[in-house]
Amino acid sequence: MKYIYYIVSRLPMSFLYFLSDIFYIFISRFYRKKVVEMNIKNSFPKLSEKELIKIKKRFYNNFCDIFFETIKSYTISKNQLFNSVRFKNIDIINNHVLNNERVVVLTSHQCNWEWLAISAEINLKSTLHFIYKKLRNRSFDEIMFKSRSKFGSVLIESKDAISKLKNNLDTVKVLGIVADQSPNKKNRIEWAKMLNQDTAFFDSISYIPVITNSQVYYASMVRESRGKYIVEFIKISSPPHTNKKPIIKEYAARLEDQIIQNPGDWLWSHKRWKLTK
């Protein structure tokens, strides 16, 4: 499996996009179709059927592109990343690092979150630590781990994140979290309104910036064209963090704005609202 993945990853991006166009024809017909349609419809109840279909088609197009871009991540070079992902204001994050301040960057499944993480690592003045969830398939987990850490990022498994952060706080300057993951009933949950729905979030999103005494930013990623992205960091909160400006609600508001502006770029296929309040 690793060898096949490597060979596909070495193919030119133009050919991988050609494969993406072919995959779209099949994937859009069956892959979590009901979940995608329900999520989009519930999020945009006032849109016409024609507008909803347009978002759905755009999502599947982008989803297939991200699939092959993620495979490309395994062998992508720094120069290719520099040409593919542009940061508008990463100096803000680097200035915090130089001032010996910790930063938590909240990301989302908007555009290509895999390229966002590995391109951030080569643009930061500090090692990027990133919370991830271990995959069930061992071979695929090893592939993704190697791909995500190839430029030096340190991956922290989600189930051990709190304890490792507390025990190694001095080594963590910039921490990335994909914060729109869907928790289950066993997790500690905080609720926020997003896209007309009560939405469950891991309460650790608010807790981690408190225990690490970190500045909190939202990484807004926008697709300029096929395979070209631009990232902007937007301030959410500064220490000391208080309930007057809840981090999760601020994050949800930022994410909602971005989804409304570019609805086809979000990951509609995951069961984001499987929990009800």
Nearest to 43 by CA among 258, 223, 277: 258
273 assigned to some structural domain:
no
The H-or-E segment that residue 156 falls in is strand 154-157
Task: Please give the pLDDT value at position 243.
Answer: 64
Which pair of structure tokens corresponds to residue 244? 């007057």
Phi, psi for residue 223 in degrees, rounded to 5: -85, 115
175 assigned to some structural domain:
yes
Say how far apart CA 88 and CA 90 lie, in whole Å: 6
8 assigned to some structural domain:
yes
- With bands split at pLDDT 50, 70 and 90, how would you rate the model's confidence at 215? very high
For the segment 111-132, the average pLDDT, to the nearest whole number, is 96
For the segment 142-161, the average pLDDT, to the nearest whole number, is 93
275 assigned to some structural domain:
no
pLDDT at 110 over 90: yes
255 assigned to some structural domain:
yes
For the segment 210-219, the average pLDDT, to the nearest whole number, is 95
For the segment 96-102, the average pLDDT, to the nearest whole number, is 96
For the segment 157-174, the average pLDDT, to the nearest whole number, is 89
270 assigned to some structural domain:
no
Nearest to 149 by CA among 176, 167, 111, 181: 176
Residues of the chain with pLDDT > 70, as a percent, come to 99
Give the pTM: 0.93
Phi, psi for residue 143 in degrees, rounded to 5: -65, -50
For the segment 138-165, the average pLDDT, to the nearest whole number, is 92
143 assigned to some structural domain:
yes
Output DSSP code: residue 242: -
Alpha helices, H only, the chain: 2-9, 13-30, 33-43, 49-72, 78-84, 90-98, 113-121, 138-148, 161-167, 204-212, 247-261
Task: Please give the pLDDT value at position 136.
Answer: 85
Domain tally, the chain:
1
For the segment 77-102, the average pLDDT, to the nearest whole number, is 96
Task: Please give the pLDDT value at position 244.
Answer: 56
Residue 137 CA, distance from chain mean position: 21
Can you give the residue range of the structural domain that contains 231? 2-265
Query: pLDDT tens for residues 241-258?
Result: 876 568 999 999 999 999
151 assigned to some structural domain:
yes
For the segment 183-197, the average pLDDT, to the nearest whole number, is 91
Long-range contacts of 32-39 (CB under 8 A, 24+ apart): 32/269, 35/268, 35/269, 35/270, 35/271, 36/60, 36/268, 36/269, 39/268, 39/272, 39/273
Residue 240: cis peptide before it, omega within 30 degrees of 0: yes
Largest CA distance in the chain: 53
> Residue 65, exposed/middle/buried by CB under 10 A (0-12, 13-18, 19+)?
buried
Query: pLDDT tens for residues 218-231?
Result: 999 999 999 999 99
